[in-house]
Homo-oligomer: A and B are copies of this chain.
Amino acid sequence: MTLTGDLFIAGERRSSEQRFRAYDPAKGAEIEDVAFAGASEQDVADACAAAEAAFLPYSTKPLEERAAFLEAIADEIEALGDALVERASRESGLPAARITGERGRTANQLRLFAKEVHDGAWQKLRIDHADPARTPPKPDLRLRTVPVGPVAVFGASNFPLAFSTAGGDTASALAAGCPVVMKGHSAHPGTAELIASAIARAVEKTGMPSGVFSLVNGMGRHVGQSLVADPRIQAVGFTGSRAGGEALMKIAAARPRPIPVYAEMSAINPVILMPEALKARGDALAKAYVASMAMGAGQFCTNPGLVLGIAGPELDAFSQVAAETLTGQAAQVMLTEGIYKAFEEGKEKLAASPYVEKVAEGAEPAGPTQGRAALFTVAGKDFLADPVHLHEVFGVSSVLVRCADLEELKSVLSQLEGQLTATIQVDEGDYESARALMPVLEQTVGRILANGWPTGVEVTHAMVHGGPYPATSDGRTTSVGTLAIERFVRPVAYQDLPEALLPPVLREGAQDGVLARIDGAWTL
């Protein structure tokens, strides 16, 4: 497939005078093959109007058809073959093997949501039968969820497939019955065009209304701002920086009718080295720690940006092995020039803190846009003295916090902002003291791991990729896993409706196979 650089507005390709080019971070140069259209206000408005027009036709399709649509998107993405892997790799600087894995994850995610559409429990079916004999008479009440309406999705740069054009936000919004207007990420416009073309083919093949998906691009902020402000948009999915997420939250809150923004933003993902675990396998932990922080050039939302341990010879040894391992790390190409620069600035700010010491650095960059790994350390008592220690540095950078004792470690933990994850390295002898930390972790994070590493987010039913502010804008939700669908539906109750006017799934005895709560009892 040849790229044209056009927008996708409800199945139509559309060009514009405003053009921009993709960027190859490994070469440090623009990719010259095609110029991409930037959307005008009118383009955004047209995409939103098409999404609104598609909403009822799409949301009222039988659930089997909705599921088949999601599966068709997965098939069409796979059918793009090597062209997709090559383009995404070139635009992101990520190796082809990583992109290939991410493609599998993206397709599986769409198929999982197709299954979830069938499962149907997200409809929250509830029936309370009438009791006319009661004083006052008890009405018949039935509840289901309905999709909220058109959803705006902002792709992330660091997962050009799994968290972007047909990523988790798009998949869960479509699964919920909501059309999607995608703000393509300007870091991978060619990848976005390929994915959008796959979605467009799936739309056509499964007979979905054309407005169910549109892609609008743009280098500046105005496209995203117009999109979130558009009165037809009813919810927003976003993965990106805290500043970006907060800007969208402000726009959404200032609308005449505010809408929810699901922004996954910022985290430093503490890892706790419990004493017995550290004693038993400090070396292995140090090596695994560096491997986790260096994965994907450190550009994971769940990157372990903070490691906490109790000061002493074991932690010194851990620090030394980590330092040695990191020193050998080759510099890695980062996603964009902007991210590379922010990484350099973030490291400089950390290094400038009077409380922080640089423990080790990776190898010097061997090309443009390459980030040099860095490991810092700070004493537990000083950690809270400067807010710069709390800021996410997106890239291969992490801070080792040397705590005087478990009390100090707990105190540092309890003063962290909301996080996506916390990890505890723990052996049997640590269980009792670890148990005392659990309530703090539960209040602070969305996912608690033991004896693993936070990078890697399984797409499954029990996943929470979320967490209290500022990890996300809405700690009640997850952007990964099947629970993500619940962000895009809301409950409606039906009181004493004649059977003929009830949604079919709420008619008497018509819930078969779908989880329902009937007169308080759960039934399948």
Select A426's contact among B60, B439, B498, beta carbons within 8 Å: B498
**A29 interface contact, C-beta 8 A:** no
**A501 interface contact, C-beta 8 A:** yes
Select A142's contact among B126, B442, B451, B462, beta carbons within 8 Å: B462
Q: Is there an interface contact between A469 and B257, defined as CB atoms closer than 8 Å? A: yes
The smallest C-beta distance from A108 to any residue of chain B, in angstroms, reads 12
A462 and B146 alpha carbons, distance in the complex (Å): 14
Taking CB atoms, residues of chain B closer than 8 Å to A451 are: 496
Q: Is there an interface contact between A128 and B492, defined as CB atoms closer than 8 Å? A: no
Q: Is there an interface contact between B438 and A501, defined as CB atoms closer than 8 Å? A: yes
Q: Is there an interface contact between A461 and B496, defined as CB atoms closer than 8 Å? A: no
The smallest C-beta distance from A440 to any residue of chain B, in angstroms, reads 9
Q: Is there an interface contact between B141 and A462, defined as CB atoms closer than 8 Å? A: yes
Taking CB atoms, residues of chain B closer than 8 Å to A208 are: none
A119 and B126 alpha carbons, distance in the complex (Å): 14
- Please encode chain A, from 452 to 474, with 1 for each CB lying within 8 Å of some chain B CB and 0 for all others: 10001010111110101110011
Taking CB atoms, residues of chain B closer than 8 Å to A495 are: 447-450, 452, 458
Within 8 A of B (CB), among A402-448: 417-418, 424, 426, 428, 431, 434-435, 438-439, 442-443, 445-448
Q: Is there an interface contact between A463 and B501, defined as CB atoms closer than 8 Å? A: no
Within 8 A of B (CB), among A497-524: 497-498, 500-501, 515, 517, 519-520, 522, 524
**A253 interface contact, C-beta 8 A:** yes
Taking CB atoms, residues of chain B closer than 8 Å to A428 are: 498, 500
Taking CB atoms, residues of chain B closer than 8 Å to A476 are: 260, 489-491
Show 20 A/B contacts (Cβ-Cβ < 8 Å), sorted by A: A142-B462, A257-B417, A426-B498, A426-B501, A428-B498, A428-B500, A435-B501, A438-B501, A445-B492, A447-B492, A447-B495, A450-B496, A450-B497, A452-B496, A461-B517, A463-B493, A464-B493, A468-B490, A476-B491, A477-B491
**A346 interface contact, C-beta 8 A:** no
Point out residues on A near B: beta carbons under 8 Å: 56, 60, 115, 119, 121, 124, 126-128, 136, 138-139, 141-143, 146, 148-149, 249, 253, 257-260, 417-418, 424, 426, 428, 431, 434-435, 438-439, 442-443, 445-452, 456, 458, 460-464, 466, 468-470, 473-478, 483, 489-498, 500-501, 515, 517, 519-520, 522, 524
Q: Which residue of B lies closest to A112 (CB)?
A: B520
The smallest C-beta distance from A494 to any residue of chain B, in angstroms, reads 5
A257-B418, A501-B426 known; A463 vs B141 contact (CB < 8 Å): yes
A450 and B121 alpha carbons, distance in the complex (Å): 26
Taking CB atoms, residues of chain B closer than 8 Å to A449 are: 139, 494-497
Taking CB atoms, residues of chain B closer than 8 Å to A470 are: 257
Taking CB atoms, residues of chain B closer than 8 Å to A522 are: 121, 515, 522, 524
